[in-house]
Each structure stands twice: as C-alpha cells, then as structure tokens.
C-alpha cells in the first residue's frame, strides 16, 4: 500500500488534477442546472415609454422579452410568456426584467429583435448598442420594426408560437430570401451602417386588428396580385378566436447612418431589386397588352434568370453609369379583361412587341427605383463601391467637385439597358 501511495506521488500533476476536480465536483453536486437559473429569451421587443405611462420620469425604454418558461410536463409544449420592464437604458430594463421573473436573462437564443417605429426617430445605434455588445446574441439575429407597440407584437407572436409551428423569424427569413434579397439581421444593419453607403434596411411588420383570426400573411393588400410566386397562400395559418394578424407586406425601413430615412413599400423594393444583381426571384407585369393572341390582357412574367452588369465612364468629370440588365423571363399568369385564361401559355412564344413592352416596363421600374434612391439620398444598391473600385481617382475627383458629397446619386447620369430572353 505504501509503495502504491508513493508511486502516486511520483505523478503530482495527476494528484493535483484529481484534487482540483474533486474540489470542484463537490459543489457541483448541489449546482442547479443553468436552465433553471436563466430565462431563455427568444425575441426582444423595444418600445419607448409613453408620456402618460411614466412611473419614473427618467425611464426611456420599455423592453419586452418573449421568454420560454418550462413547465413540468411530458408534452414538450413550448410555453412562452412576455415579460416587460422599463428602464433608463436597455441594460437597466433587462436587469429589471430579470428581477421580475427571478432569473438571469439569457440572450443566446434570441432570434429576433423588434423595434417600435416611435423609437426610430433617434439614432437607432444608440439603443442597439447594448445588444450589439452582447457576446451571446448571435450576429444573425433578425432585426425588424413595427408601428404598433413591440410588446403587443410579441404577444401576437406568442399566440402564434403556441398555436402553430410558424415563427416570426421564419417569416422574416422568407422575406430575406424571396422579397428583399438582403439579409435583415442585426449584423447587416451594422454592416450597412459602417459600410461605404451607410444605408441599412430593416423589414417592417404590422399588426392589424381584423376579424377572422391570427394569421401570417406575406403579401398584403398593397402588392396584391403582383407577387404571384410569393403569395401568402401557403404561408398563412388560421385559427379561430383571435383577431390579430401579423402582416408582412414587404415594407422596408431605410436607415442612413443609423437614422430612419424613409419607408419603402414592398413594391418599391421590388423595383430596386431589379437593379441588384444578386436578386433573381420576382415577377414583372405587363398591363393591358394586346396582340394576335391577347386582347387587353395583363401578362405576368416570372424572372427565371437575371444578370446585371454595371459600367462607369466619365465625361468631363461626370460619371455615366450604365446598367445593363439581362433577364430570362417565363410567363406565369395571363389575366384578360374577364379574368379567363385564354390560351395554353405553355407554348406561348414572346414576340418582339411583347419584349418591347417588357423592356419598357423594366426600364421604367429601374428609373423609378433610381428616382426613389435619389430622392432619399440612399444608395441602397451600393453604386458607391462599384464606382470607387472601378476608377478610384476619377470617382474621388467627382466627389470633390460636389457641394454635398452625400448627394452624388443626383449627379450621376444613369443609362439603362435591358435584354430580354424568354424561356
């Protein structure tokens, strides 16, 4: 035995390791699971405090947390509660919310952050600072805005969560992939803000009080039949007894330098996306088209494939920006005056007239899009980087020649070329 013990002491590191492990293991016997010490938050809503509700006049923010509360059941139901607290800063409100439920707030599973539009008059980055510093929140957390109270929004989300398998983050994901063509996460917000154009996009969702139940509708009234491929049909779920509706109609808030600049409808965004090369889904509508086959018909084409080329030339220091969009389109819907499908569209071959009409339509849309960007001085497409990278010197000269460097979009001459290939 003595020999054995002496042998043990020949490996002191083993003894130390074992000893330390034991020292830590004993308290571990009494340690609660982290899950029962932390509140798992899946969504954060941020509101400003309304004047009349002020308990403490210094409070500025109200934070609502959609929190998972475990219940001792074998059914594995996801039970959520909305917890809210007010505070002078986000962190204070968070701490208070933690106090309210007697647990620490765990942000590692946050999927979305909802901001009330009333907050957005100020610099958004000011109150997003806390969240951006949180190491536990993933950069891919979705950021969205709503015009109603974020707390109400979360309550609606909670109902949605408990009654269907659709999550708001899924709705936003769908947006991201099929409507905006831009990721709308926390990360992209800051990426845009610190990027050369300083423009960031945030999706905008509303809650409508309507009869008929809680539903998720992608593609509201504004866009109507325009979004043929992205209609809300497959995406909505209806249950009776509720009367709130989360509506996602593709509206987008445009921020510049962290400040709210304007709100674009989904329709506007679709136009802007025509100019962006990385966006390939969508549809184009030709209204009131007449030829041998169709009589005053509305033709809706789906974008099958798309590539957009940019080119910049300078004439007397003024940049001329060529946008050449090459698109392959497929006819997806024909709507004549009576709303009947006249011909089998499978074998429809687009003739030159139709192509001209389409080209005009696209050109007009692109011109509209550039108009929107010019009006708001927001370079959503990021012409800046392209021009900077293609000819740094000339572009800097051009910028120097401007009175207001931010106003460069208005000084650029855009030339739009469209090539249509029909499938």
Partner 1 sequence: MKVLDRSITAWQTGIILFILLFANKILILPSLLYEDAKLEAFLVPIFLFVLELGLIFLFYRIKTKYPSERFSDILKNHYGKFVTYSLYVLILVFFFCKALLLYNVTYIFFRNMIYKDSGNILFLFCFLPVVNHLAIIGLRVIGRTAQLFFPVIIFISLFCICIGFFGINSSPLLYQASINDVFRSCLKHISAFGDSIFLFIFMDKIKIQKGQWKIVFSFAGIAMLFVVTITTVFILSYTYTSFMHPFAIFEIMSYVKEFGGLGRIDIISMVLIIILTYFQLALYLKGFMESFHVIFSKIDNIYSVLTFNIVFVLAVNYVVLNLSKGVIYGETILPYFSIISFVFIPALVVVMLLKKRRKERKK
Partner 2 sequence: MKVENKIKSLTKKLHNSIDVANRVIKKNGVDVGFIYLKSITDNLIFSQAIFEPVSNFDGQINFEILEQIVKANDVSKVEEKEIIDKILKGSVVVMLSNSEEFLAIDILNYNTRAPSEPPTSPVIMGPREGFTEDLKTNMTLIRRRFYSDQLVFKEATVGDTTKTQVVIAYLDGIADEKIVKEIKKKISKIKIDGVVDSYYLLSLLASRPNSVLKQVGCAEKPDIIAAKMLEGRVAIIVDNSPIVLTIPFVFLEDLQNSNDYYINYIYSTFIRFIRLMGIFISVLGPGAYIALQLFHYNILPIKYLITIADTTQQVPFTPFIEILFILLLFQILYEVSLRLPSYLGLATSIVGALILGDTGVKAGLISPPTVIVVAIAKIALYTVPEQSAQVNIFQFVFLVLGAAVGLLGLIGGCIYLLAYANSIENYGAPYLAPFSPFILSDNKDGLFKVPLSEMTERPKSFENENKERMDESSR
Contact positions vs partner 1 (CB under 8 A): 10-14, 16-17, 20, 24, 108, 132, 135-136, 138-140, 187, 190-191, 194-196, 278, 382, 384-386, 388-389
Based on CB atoms, which residue is closest to partner 2, 109 or 388? 109
Closest CA to 199 of 362, 378, 405, 60: 378
Query: Shortest gap between Cβ of 154 and partner 2 (angstroms)?
Result: 16
Is residue 33 a contact point for partner 2 (CB under 8 A)? yes
Please classify residue 114 by burial: count the beta carbons closer than 10 Å to its beta carbon, then call 0-12 exposed, 13-18 middle and 19+ buried: buried
Tokens of 279: 């966006």
Q: What are phi and psi of 99, to 5 degrees?
A: -65, -40
Query: Shortest gap between Cβ of 135 and partner 1 (angstroms)?
Result: 4
Q: Is the dihedral of CA 82, 83, 85, 90 positive or negative?
A: negative
Based on CB atoms, which residue is closest to partner 1, 289 or 384? 384
Is residue 15 a contact point for partner 2 (CB under 8 A)? no
Based on CB atoms, which residue is closest to partner 1, 279 or 289? 279
Closest CA to 40 of 161, 175, 201: 161
Query: Shortest gap between Cβ of 68 and partner 2 (angstroms)?
Result: 7
Query: Shortest gap between Cβ of 67 and partner 1 (angstroms)?
Result: 18
Interface residue with partner 2 among 36, 234, 344, 352 (CB under 8 A) is 36
User: Could you say which of partner 1, partner 2, none residue 32 binds, taking C-beta under 5 to 8 angstroms by partner kind?
Assistant: partner 2
Q: How far is CA 119 from CA 61, 62, 128, 195, in A?
A: 9, 11, 11, 23
Confirm if 43 and 114 have CB atoms less than 8 A apart: yes
Is residue 42 a contact point for partner 2 (CB under 8 A)? yes
**Count of H helices and E strands in the chain?**
12, 15
Sheet holding 413-422, edge to edge: 283-289, 297-315, 318-335, 413-422
Based on CB atoms, which residue is closest to partner 2, 36 or 344? 36
Is residue 210 a contact point for partner 2 (CB under 8 A)? no
The C-alpha atoms of residue 277 and residue 174 are separated, in whole angstroms, by: 19
The C-alpha atoms of residue 188 and residue 345 are separated, in whole angstroms, by: 41
- The site string for partner 2 over 60-79 (x = CB under 8 A, - otherwise) reads --------x-xxxxxxxxx-
User: Could you say which of partner 2, partner 1, none residue 7 binds, taking C-beta under 5 to 8 angstroms by partner kind?
Assistant: partner 2
For residue 241, is it left (φ>0), alpha (ψ between -120 and 50) or beta? left
Q: For partner 2, how many residues bind (rule: CB under 8 A)?
A: 37
Q: Taking the chain, what is the end-to-end CA distance rounded to the nearest angstrom? A: 87
Tokens of 290: 């007449």
Based on CB atoms, which residue is closest to partner 1, 153 or 383? 383
Query: Shortest gap between Cβ of 196 and partner 1 (angstroms)?
Result: 5
Query: Shortest gap between Cβ of 21 and partner 1 (angstroms)?
Result: 9
Query: Shortest gap between Cβ of 33 and partner 2 (angstroms)?
Result: 5
Query: Shortest gap between Cβ of 39 and partner 2 (angstroms)?
Result: 11
User: Could you say which of partner 2, partner 1, none residue 386 binds, taking C-beta under 5 to 8 angstroms by partner kind?
Assistant: partner 1
Based on CB atoms, which residue is closest to partner 1, 118 or 406? 406
Confirm if 215 and 245 have CB atoms less than 8 A apart: yes
Is residue 1 a contact point for partner 2 (CB under 8 A)? no
Is residue 162 a contact point for partner 2 (CB under 8 A)? no
């Amino acid at each position: 035995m003595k020999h054995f013990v002496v042998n043990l002491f020949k490996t002191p590191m083993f003894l130390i390791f074992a000893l330390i492990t034991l020292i830590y293991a004993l308290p571990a016997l009494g340690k609660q699971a982290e899950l029962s010490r932390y509140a798992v938050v899946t969504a954060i809503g941020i509101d400003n405090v309304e004047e009349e509700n002020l308990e403490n006049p210094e409070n500025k923010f109200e934070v609502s947390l959609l929190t998972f509360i475990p219940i001792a059941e074998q059914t594995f139901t996801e039970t959520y509660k909305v917890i809210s607290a007010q505070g002078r800063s986000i962190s204070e409100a968070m701490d208070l919310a933690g106090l309210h439920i007697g647990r620490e707030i765990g942000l590692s599973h946050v999927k979305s952050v909802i901001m009330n539009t009333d907050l957005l008059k100020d610099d958004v980055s000011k109150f997003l600072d806390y969240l951006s510093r949180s190491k536990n929140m993933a950069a891919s957390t979705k950021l969205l805005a709503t015009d109603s109270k974020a707390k109400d929004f979360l309550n609606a989300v909670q109902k949605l969560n408990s009654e269907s398998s659709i999550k708001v983050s899924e709705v936003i994901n769908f947006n991201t992939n099929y409507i905006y063509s831009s990721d709308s996460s926390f990360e992209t917000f800051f990426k845009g803000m610190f990027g050369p154009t300083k423009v960031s996009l945030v999706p905008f969702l509303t809650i409508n009080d309507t009869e008929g139940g809680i539903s998720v509708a992608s593609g509201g009234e504004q866009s109507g039949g325009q979004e043929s491929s992205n209609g809300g049909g497959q995406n909505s779920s209806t249950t009776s007894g509720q009367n709130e509706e989360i509506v996602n109609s593709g509206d987008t808030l445009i921020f510049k330098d962290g400040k709210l600049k304007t709100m674009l409808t989904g329709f506007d965004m679709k136009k802007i996306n025509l100019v962006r090369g990385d966006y390939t889904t969508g549809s184009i509508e030709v209204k009131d088209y007449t030829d041998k086959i169709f009589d005053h018909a509305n033709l809706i084409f789906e974008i099958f494939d798309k590539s957009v080329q940019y080119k910049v030339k300078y004439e007397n220091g003024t940049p001329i920006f060529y946008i050449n969009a090459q698109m392959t389109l497929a006819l997806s819907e024909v709507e004549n005056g009576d709303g009947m499908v006249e011909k089998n569209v499978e074998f429809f071959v687009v003739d030159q007239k139709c192509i001209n009409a389409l080209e005009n339509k696209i050109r007009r849309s692109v011109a509209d899009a550039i108009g929107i960007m010019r009006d708001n001085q927001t370079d959503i497409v990021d012409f800046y980087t392209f021009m900077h990278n293609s000819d740094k010197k000339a572009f800097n000269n051009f910028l120097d020649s401007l009175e207001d460097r931010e106003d460069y979009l208005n000084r650029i001459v855009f030339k739009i070329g469209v090539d249509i290939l029909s499938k």
